[in-house]
C-alpha cells in the first residue's frame, strides 16, 4: 500500500528486512528541505556542494550521499555554538546527547558549546544502513556511530582547510583543540570565525578517524543535553505543539476493534461551547470513528462525551481472554510449522523429565506522553509535527491520505515522552488519523492546524499491544544436566504479517516471535510455532520477542540446574563453553560485583540469575528477592552489560535502570496486563493498569564490560533478563517457579 506512494522509502526498508543487508541506494535532498536545514542563524558546513547535489549536478565530494554530508547535520554559529541535528526520535533513550557526542568527538568541538535539534522526514536523516527513517531495534548509536564520526571528521577537515587558506600555511601544520584551530606561532581561530569560509570548500570524501585511545568526549559520563529542560518541566514534546489558530480534536472509537458505526447523533456535541465541528473519519483496520474538533482538549472531550453513537458489533470477533487461552492451549497440541528441528526420540527415555507451560498476557505500551499528531494543511502542501519512529513511512502514509506527492509532505520530528514501539507502526495509524481528521476539518470549512490528541484511556484501550503468548515445553535431560531433547511449542499472533515487514515471515513463522529461543545454549530443540489470527491489533513492545522468550529460556535453564543440584551460574558457564564470550563476560561481571556466592543474604532473601542477548548486546542480572505478605519483592539488582564501546556511560546506566523497571512491571500484581471481555478491553488507565511505584524500585547497580569494539544497542537489551532473574529467585524461595506474568504466587 505504501510502496505506491513513497517508492524511495519502503523498497530499501523491505530489502533490509528481507535480506539483512545494508543498502547503497542513492537518495537526494529536496532543495526546500535543504534551505530549512541550513537556516539563517548559523552556517552549515559544505552547504553549497550539498545544494548542487539536490539540484542534480554532480556532487563535489565524489558521490557522497546526503546521509554522509555535514550540511544537514552540523551548524556552527558565529559565537562558536555547534548545533548537531539527530537523525532519530529522542524518546528517552538519550540519542539527543549520544549522537552529538560522537560527532563532537571527531569535530574536536568544545562540548560546552554543543547543542542538538531534531531532524525531519528528509532523506538526509535516514538510517545509513537500512536506507529508511527508523528509530528502533536499539540501532541508533550502533548504525550511526561511524556515520556521525565521519560527519564530524569531514567538518573538522573543512575548518582546517579554511584556516590554512586564511593564514597561507600548510594544513599539516595545524591542529584543533576544543572548537579552535591552532596554527604556527600560536595563531588561533575559533570555529565560529572559520565557518563561513569553511562552508564554501569541497567536502572531503575520505577522512581519518581518531584512535579510540585519544577520545576525550566519547566514553565520558556526560549529563544529557536535555536533562535540565526535562527535569524543570520546560521540555516541549509533540503534545505541546502550539500553532496560530490551532484546534484540538479527539476521536470516539468503537468499543470492539473493527465494529461498524451505524448512526451518529451529534446534536448535543455541537452544542458544547468551543466545539467547531463533528466529523466522521476512517480508522485503522477499516473501522470508522467520530472526531470532535474544538478550541481545546477539554471542549473536544466534553463534545465527545455528548455524542450518541450506535455500533454494529455483530460482524466482528469479540475476543474473550479466558476463552482465548483455552483456544491457545488446544492449538498448542496440534502439529505446526517448525522453526528448529531435532530428534525427539531421546525424550521418552531421558532420566529426567520436565514439563512446563507459560502464559504471557497482552501488554499496552502506555508511554507517559499519549499519542498525538498536529497537521497543518495548505494548498498543495502538508506539514506535520509528531513524535514518530518512522517519519519517512509516516510521510508516505500522510501523502496517500491527503492525495499529495511525498515531497509535498514534511514531518517535523518532535521529542516524544516514551514510546516503547508504539510510535513505530507499519500502518502509521496515529499519523494517518491525524491527517484524516485535519482533512475532514478542512472539508467542514475549518482552515486551521489541527492537533489530534489521544487521552490516556484512548491510548490504553485503542489497540496495538504486545501479543498474548503461550509456551509449552517438554525437556529430557540426564543427571549432569545435559539436555537430550527439548520439545517446545509457541503460540501467539504474528506482529509483522500483513504489514510492510510481512516479507520476513518464512514457512509461516514470524521471526520476531521466536528471537531469543535456544541461543546461546546449544540445545537439541524442536520448536513448533502457531500464529492464530485474533481481532486484537498487535505490535512490537520494548525488546520484541525477547520479552517472553528470555523468560521461558532462562527460567527453564534454572529449573534444570536446580533439578540436577548445580549452581545456576556454573551451569550456564558450562553451557556457554567457548562459543559465547560476551555472555560469559557479562555474567561474570554481574556475579563479581553482586557478591553472589560470597556475601551472606539477609534471612528471607534469595539470589536469582539470568542472562540474555538481544539487539547485539548482552545483559546479565544477579538479583536479590524476597516474599513479603505473599507478594514478590525485588530488593537489589546488579547488572553486567556487554555492549562493546560505551559512548555515554550515564545513558547506558539510565537505559538499564529504566529497562529493569519496565521488566519489573511485567512481574508485579496487575503487571500492565491487558485483558478482554466480550471484545472490549477491560483496562483504561493506571488505576486498573498496574505499574511499579517508587516503593517497588530496587537498588540497581550497572557495570559494563570494557571494550573498544564499535557500540551495540542499549535501548532494549536491559529488559528481557530482569523478569526471569526475579522469577528464579522466587522459585528458590518458594519451590514453585513462576510460569505466568504477572507472577501468581498463591
Give me the pLDDT at residue 13, please.
40
Phi, psi for residue 724 in degrees, rounded to 5? -65, -35
User: What pLDDT score does 276 carry?
Assistant: 98
Q: For position 201, what pLDDT does the model report?
A: 96
In whole angstroms, how far apart are CA 282 and each of 261, 264, 285, 535, 710?
Answer: 10, 14, 9, 18, 45
Average pLDDT, the chain: 91
Sign of CA dihedral 276, 277, 283, 289: positive
184 grid coordinates: 604556527
Give the pairing type, strands 673-674 and 362-363.
Answer: antiparallel
Pairing of strands 673-674, 525-530: unpaired
Q: What is the pLDDT of residue 501?
A: 87
The C-alpha atoms of residue 702 and residue 187 are separated, in whole angstroms, by 45
pLDDT of residue 745: 81
Q: Supply 727's cell numbers.
A: 522469577
Q: What is the reported pLDDT for 688?
A: 85
Q: Is 358:470 a contact under the CB 8 Å cutoff?
A: yes
- The pLDDT assigned to 33 comes to 34
Cell numbers at residue 151, please?
Answer: 560527519
Q: Kindly state the DSSP code that residue 499 receives in the 8-state scheme.
A: S
Q: Hey, is 654 helix, strand or coil?
A: helix
Adjacency order of strands within the sheet including 175-177: 175-177, 180-182, 188-190
Residue 43: its pLDDT value, please? 66
Mark the ranges of the chain whose per-residue pLDDT is less than 50: 1-41, 46-61
Q: Which residues pair with 608 in a beta bridge?
A: 623
pLDDT at 670: 78
Amino acid at each position: 500500500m505504501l510502496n505506491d506512494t513513497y517508492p524511495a522509502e519502503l523498497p530499501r526498508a523491505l530489502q533490509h528486512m528481507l535480506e539483512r543487508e545494508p543498502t547503497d541506494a542513492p537518495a537526494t535532498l529536496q532543495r526546500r528541505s535543504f534551505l530549512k536545514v541550513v537556516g539563517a542563524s548559523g552556517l552549515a558546513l559544505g552547504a553549497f556542494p550539498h545544494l548542487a547535489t539536490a539540484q542534480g549536478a554532480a556532487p563535489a565530494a565524489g558521490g557522497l550521499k546526503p546521509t554522509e554530508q555535514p550540511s544537514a547535520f552540523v551548524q556552527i554559529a558565529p559565537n562558536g555554538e555547534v548545533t548537531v541535528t539527530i537523525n532519530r526520535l529522542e524518546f528517552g533513550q538519550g540519542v539527543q546527547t549520544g549522537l552529538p557526542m560522537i560527532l563532537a568527538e571527531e569535530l574536536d568541538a568544545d562540548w560546552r558549546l554543543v547543542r542538538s535539534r531534531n531532524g525531519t522526514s528528509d532523506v538526509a536523516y535516514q538510517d545509513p544502513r537500512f536506507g529508511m527513517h527508523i528509530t528502533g531495534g536499539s540501532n541508533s548509536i550502533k548504525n550511526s556511530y561511524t556515520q556521525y564520526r565521519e560527519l564530524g571528521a569531514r567538518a573538522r577537515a573543512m575548518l582546517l582547510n579554511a584556516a590554512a587558506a586564511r593564514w597561507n600555511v600548510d594544513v599539516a601544520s595545524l591542529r584543533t583543540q576544543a572548537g579552535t584551530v591552532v596554527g604556527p606561532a600560536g595563531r588561533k581561530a575559533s570555529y565560529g570565525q572559520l565557518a563561513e569560509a569553511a562552508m564554501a570548500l569541497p567536502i572531503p570524501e575520505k577522512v581519518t578517524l581518531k584512535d579510540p585511545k585519544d577520545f576525550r568526549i566519547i566514553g565520558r559520563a556526560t549529563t544529557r543535553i536535555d536533562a535540565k529542560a526535562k527535569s524543570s518541566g520546560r521540555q516541549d514534546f509533540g503534545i505541546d505543539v502550539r500553532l496560530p489558530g490551532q484546534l484540538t480534536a479527539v476521536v470516539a472509537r468503537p468499543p470492539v476493534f473493527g465494529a461498524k458505526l451505524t448512526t451518529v447523533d451529534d446534536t448535543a456535541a455541537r452544542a458544547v461551547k468551543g466545539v467547531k465541528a463533528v466529523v466522521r473519519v476512517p480508522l485503522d483496520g477499516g473501522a470508522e470513528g467520530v472526531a470532535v474538533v474544538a478550541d481545546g482538549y477539554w471542549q473536544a472531550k466534553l463534545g465527545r462525551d455528548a455524542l450518541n453513537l450506535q455500533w454494529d458489533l455483530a460482524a466482528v470477533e469479540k475476543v474473550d481472554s479466558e476463552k482465548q487461552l483455552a483456544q491457545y492451549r488446544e492449538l498448542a497440541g496440534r502439529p505446526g510449522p517448525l522453526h528448529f528441528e531435532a530428534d525427539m526420540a531421546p525424550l521418552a527415555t531421558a532420566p529426567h523429565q520436565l514439563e512446563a507451560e507459560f502464559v504471557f498476557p497482552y501488554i499496552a505500551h502506555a508511554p507517559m506522553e499519549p499519542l498525538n499528531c498536529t497537521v497543518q494543511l495548505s494548498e498543495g502542501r502538508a506539514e506535520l509535527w509528531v513524535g514518530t519512529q518512522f517519519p519517512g513511512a509516516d510521510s508516505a502514509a500522510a501523502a496517500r491520505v491527503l492525495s499529495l506527492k511525498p515531497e509535498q509532505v514534511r514531518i517535523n520530528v518532535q521529542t516524544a515522552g516514551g514510546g516503547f514501539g508504539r510510535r513505530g507502526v507499519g500502518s502509521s495509524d496515529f499519523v494517518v488519523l491525524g491527517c484524516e481528521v485535519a482533512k475532514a476539518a478542512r472539508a467542514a470549512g475549518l482552515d486551521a492546524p489541527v492537533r489530534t490528541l489521544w487521552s490516556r484511556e484512548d491510548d490504553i484501550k485503542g489497540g496495538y499491544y504486545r501479543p498474548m503468548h503461550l509456551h509449552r515445553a517438554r525437556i529430557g535431560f540426564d543427571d549432569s544436566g545435559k539436555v537430550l531433547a527439548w520439545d517446545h511449542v509457541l503460540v501467539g499472533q504474528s506482529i509483522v504479517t500483513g504489514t510492510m515487514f510481512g516479507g520476513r515471515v518464512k514457512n509461516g513463522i514470524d521471526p520476531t516471535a521466536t528471537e531469543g529461543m535456544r541461543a546461546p545454549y546449544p540445545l537439541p530443540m524442536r520448536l513448533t510455532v502457531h500464529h492464530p489470527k485474533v481481532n486484537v491489533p498487535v505490535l512490537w513492545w520494548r525488546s520484541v520477542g525477547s520479552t517472553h522468550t528470555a523468560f521461558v529460556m532462562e527460567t527453564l535453564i534454572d529449573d534444570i540446574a536446580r533439578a540436577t543440584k548445580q549452581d545456576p551460574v556454573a551451569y550456564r558457564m558450562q553451557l556457554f563453553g567457548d562459543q559465547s564470550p560476551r555472555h560469559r563476560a557479562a555474567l561474570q561481571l554481574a556475579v563479581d560485583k553482586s557478591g553472589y556466592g560470597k556475601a551472606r543474604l539477609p534471612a528471607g532473601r534469595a539470589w536469582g540469575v539470568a542472562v540474555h542477548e538481544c539487539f547485539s548486546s548482552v545483559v546479565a542480572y544477579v538479583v536479590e528477592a524476597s516474599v513479603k505478605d505473599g507478594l514478590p519483592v525485588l530488593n537489589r539488582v546488579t547488572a553486567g552489560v556487554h555492549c562493546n564501546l560505551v559512548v555515554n556511560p550515564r545513558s547506558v546506566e539510565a537505559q538499564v535502570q529504566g529497562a529493569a523497571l519496565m521488566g519489573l512491571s511485567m512481574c508485579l500484581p496487575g503487571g500492565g496486563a491487558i485483558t478482554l471481555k466480550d471484545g472490549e478491553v477491560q483496562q483504561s488507565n493506571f488505576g486498573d493498569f498496574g505499574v511499579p511505584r517508587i516503593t517497588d524500585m530496587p537498588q540497581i547497580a550497572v557495570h559494563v564490560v570494557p571494550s573498544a569494539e564499535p557500540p551495540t544497542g542499549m535501548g532494549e537489551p536491559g529488559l528481557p533478563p530482569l523478569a526471569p532473574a526475579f522469577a528464579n529467585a522466587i522459585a528458590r524461595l518458594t519451590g514453585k517457579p513462576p510460569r505466568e506474568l504477572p507472577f501468581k504466587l498463591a
